[in-house]
Amino acid sequence: MSSTKTAETHPAYELLYWPGIPGRGEFIRLAFEAAGVSYKDVANESEDAITSLLSPSSTTPPIFAPPALLVPGAGKHNTPLLLYQTPSILSYIGPKLNLAGADETEKAWILSHTLTALDLNNEAHDTHHPIAVGAYYEEQKEEALKKARDFRENRIPKFLGFFERVLKGNEVEGQSSYLVGEMLSYADTTLWHVLAGLEFAFPKEIASRKKDYPLLFGNFYASVKETKGIAGYLASGRRKPFSMGVFRHYPELDRH
């Protein structure tokens, strides 16, 4: 399908997420932006639209947490379909956006690698909230220092080494630009955002480790950024900067 055709036949997708930060909503945004398919970014376009939609008893089934995606007419009996959980949303829209690989094998691997990139995203979050997600960082700073050290020394190299091997294994088809197969997938956009977040949150750690992952940082990272949809999104100014969301830059948690 050409992107012109897909743009014409898509429903009016609505992304439901907290405003002002990239957060986990960004993984959904990047898929739409990479595909050049329009979507309504509800909270960033109109205030107060989110709270009621995300209240516990407003929908059936309820949704546990944002991001959520509303797809008009796609549910049972042409009702709106409301989905939650980032990997589930990506798994649903991936094939429709032509970001889920060329066959069933690639589709499955793309979901698997995406889940691993999101695990890395979650572990990065837990470095500043190791004890309680509902408490302030300052209340768990001592534990955060320990957690961040383990994350930097053990977890970052484990995850980055894995993705370097994935790129190496797909080097002939993917040219170090794609994790799976011969074209961009939502696994690529997801991992790219996590790498960007790590570079924001742990600039010294990533700077010192980049050379160990030549395919990942020497090729993949720049390549995803330069794809048409992502480059256009970055140029548009719509992408929210990292601040105090999943990825936070606390210098004391970085290498020093």
Please give the residue ranges that form the binding site for a copy of itself (CB under 8 A): 56-57, 60-64, 74-76, 81, 83-85, 87-88, 91-92, 103-105, 108-109, 111-113, 115-116, 126, 130-135, 140, 143, 146-147, 150, 154-155, 159, 161-162, 165-166, 169-170, 179-180
Reduced to 3 states (helix: H, G, I; strand: E, B; else coil), residue 77 is: helix
Q: Tell me how far apart the alpha carbons of residues 229 and 183 are, in angstroms, rounded to a whole number.
A: 13
Q: How far is the CB of 149 from a copy of itself (least distance, A)?
A: 9
Place of tokens 């996590």: 194
Q: Which helix (H) or strand (E) holds 149?
A: helix 141-150
Count of residues in the chain: 256
Among 59, 22, 57, 64, which Cα is nearest to 43's? 22
Q: How far is the CB of 88 from a copy of itself (least distance, A)?
A: 4
Instruction: Return the number of the residue (3 or 254) whose C-beta is nearest a copy of itself.
Output: 254
Q: How far is the CB of 67 from a copy of itself (least distance, A)?
A: 11
Instruction: Return the number of the residue (147 or 193) whose C-beta is nearest a copy of itself.
Output: 147
Instruction: Return the number of the residue (2 or 60) whose C-beta is nearest a copy of itself.
Output: 60
Q: How far is the CB of 228 from a copy of itself (least distance, A)?
A: 26
Sign of CA dihedral 81, 87, 93, 96: negative
Task: State the Rg of the chain over Cα.
Answer: 18
Instruction: Return the number of the residue (39 or 159) whose C-beta is nearest a copy of itself.
Output: 159
Instruction: Return the number of the residue (48 or 104) whose C-beta is nearest a copy of itself.
Output: 104
Q: Tell me how far apart the alpha carbons of residues 14 and 49 are, in angstroms, rounded to a whole number.
A: 11
